[in-house]
Amino acid sequence: MLGWRYRVMWRWVCALVVVAGCWSDDPLVDGELTAAQLAHFREQFHHTAFDPCALPPGVDCNKAAQLGQELFFDVRLSDSGTGSGSDYRPSAGTGKTSCATCHDPNGYFIDTRMPNSVSQGQTKWTRRNAMTLLDLQLKASLTNRFTWDGSYHTAGDVLTLAITKAMSAKTANVAYYLQHEPQYATLFWDAFGMADPYEGAKLAFDAYLYRLAGESPFDAYVDGDDTALSADAKRGFGVFVGRGTCVECHSGPALGDFVPRNTGVAQAGSASDAGAGSADGDPADLGAFVTPSLRNIAMTGPYMHAGQLASLSAVIDFYRRGGDATSFPGTKDPRMVALELTDDDARDLEAFLVSLTDAPVDASLRQKLCPAGSGSQCP
């Protein structure tokens, strides 16, 4: 027979057990995330399908895209020329570089000519790595920072950059051929009617490039298909949003927020590149480069703004050690610290990055169009 004190005590203990039993634990998803966290990331990385024909009213989207695709492969845009204004005349046959030269359609639209080097322009190597043109519409929906230093605000601005710098030519080439090449003149008229030739050309490029997008296994996973990723890639996703802290900068549907940051990448070669700091004049941006999208990253090496790193594993090692110690301008972002990743973490992370690879875009978009009567520019 227990005394009243014992009864009180054991009632108390039992009540405590019952209360504690009500403190149920939330199960983790894949051992890493709470359901709320997974839902958060699925929402963050999800992107709705875009309408590639989201162009100004009155523009014939298909004709514009066809024109854009033809211009994309046209080396005449890099012709040298003489004169100015209406007297401008390109020197036929001098151009050797088209957009496709540095954005290889069969190489995920990057410069594939030198596997571990920066892009080669018309006459010389550029200082910076050619970025892929895939998922351009997604990028344009998220940011107005284009190129590595973020100083170009539209895709059209980048077209001008490409023609004048990488192709060492003049934008007047575009207007000239749109007016003097019958095929282009017809397409341009059908697409835009009366319009400024160069502005129309920008829209034509947009219409074409917006079609260069695909779906990756990660997109399927984000949309709720738990089987879309391998076990390694799922663990790698956990590293990406967790111990790797990659998601702090590579966030959003593009897996990149396009904000300039100094990650401490040692300068390539002797030429100093101050990045965004030289473009916007802000000392805080010295040595900072735009955080790019990671979509298709496994297919778009070499990496970093000047192609300093040849492989994904080299990039992961770079972040594991907290970036380079010296030989870069400016001050490294304080979040660039050595990461405590295991070799397994690194392998899993690489598997995840591979899962960001889109299926190749349709072959018809990766080749030069050769409509009837197209003339000498078709093979």
Partner 1 sequence: MSVKLVIACLLVARLALADDGSAAGSDAGSDVGSATGSAAVEPPPSPAEMAERIDDQEQRVRTLESKARVTESFNEDVGKLRWLPRFLTVFVDVGGFAVAGDGSGIRSDLGHVYYPKYAGRIAGQWVFMGDPLSTAINSLGEPADASDSRELRADTIHSKGRPSLIVNTVGLSIGKYLGHDISVSALAEVLPRPGDTLLDVPLAHIDWRPLSTVDLVISAGKVDSVLGVEYRSQDAPRRLGVTPSLICRYTCGRPLGAEARLVEGRLSLSGGMFASDQFDQRFEPKLELHASNLPTVAGHVQWMLPVGQGLEVGVSGAAGPQDNQPSASIAQWHVGLDAQLRDLHGWDAVAEYVQGLQQGETMSVPCDLAPCLTYKGAYVLVDRRVNDHFTPYVRVDWRSAVHQHGTDFVYESHVARATIGAHFEMTNTILAKIEYTFNHELDGIPQFADDILTTSLVVATE
Q: Where are the beta strands (DSSP E) in 13-151?
A: 81-82, 89-90
Measure the CA–CA gap between 191 and 160, rounded to whole angstroms. 21
Asked if 50 contacts 137 with a C-beta cutoff of 8 angstroms, the reply is yes
Strand (E) or helix (H) holding 220: helix 217-222
Measure the CA–CA gap between 154 and 156, rounded to whole angstroms. 5
**Interface stretch with partner 1, choices 18-26, 195-203, 275-283, 320-328 (CB under 8 A):** 18-26
**Interface stretch with partner 1, choices 136-144, 166-174, 240-248, 298-306 (CB under 8 A):** 240-248
- Total binding residues for partner 1 by CB under 8 A? 34
Min dist. Cβ of residue 34 to partner 1 (A): 5
Q: Which of 56, 85, 334, 379 binds partner 1 (CB under 8 A)?
A: 334
Min dist. Cβ of residue 5 to partner 1 (A): 7
Long-range contacts of 198-202 (CB under 8 A, 24+ apart): 198/171, 198/174, 199/156, 200/64, 201/67, 201/68, 201/71, 201/159, 201/174, 201/175, 202/154, 202/155, 202/156, 202/159
Q: Which of 107, 198, 243, 365 binds partner 1 (CB under 8 A)?
A: 243
Min dist. Cβ of residue 54 to partner 1 (A): 29
End-to-end CA distance of the chain: 103
Measure the CA–CA gap between 237 and 228, rounded to whole angstroms. 12
Which letter, b or e, does each residue of 320-358 get, where b requires 16 or more Cβ atoms within 10 Å of its Cβ? beebbeeebebebbeebeebebeeebbbbbbbbbbbbbb
Contact positions with partner 1 (CB under 8 A) in 290-329: none
Which CB atom, from 243 or from 321, has the smaller least distance to partner 1?
243
Contact positions with partner 1 (CB under 8 A) in 191-230: none
Q: Which of 7, 30, 36, 269 binds partner 1 (CB under 8 A)?
A: 36
Min dist. Cβ of residue 79 to partner 1 (A): 47
Q: Does 233 bind partner 1 (CB under 8 A)?
A: no
Q: Does 32 bind partner 1 (CB under 8 A)?
A: yes
Which CB atom, from 11 or from 180, has the smaller least distance to partner 1?
11
Q: Does 92 bind partner 1 (CB under 8 A)?
A: no
Contact positions with partner 1 (CB under 8 A) in 98-127: none
Q: Does 18 bind partner 1 (CB under 8 A)?
A: no
Residues in the chain: 379
**Interface stretch with partner 1, choices 2-10, 53-61, 138-146, 203-211 (CB under 8 A):** 2-10
138's CB contacts (< 8 A; 6+ apart) are: 47, 50, 213, 253, 254, 293, 295
User: Which parts of this chain interact with partner 1 (CB under 8 A)?
Assistant: 5-6, 9, 12-13, 16-17, 19-21, 23-26, 28, 32-34, 36-37, 40-41, 44, 241-245, 247-248, 334-335, 337, 340
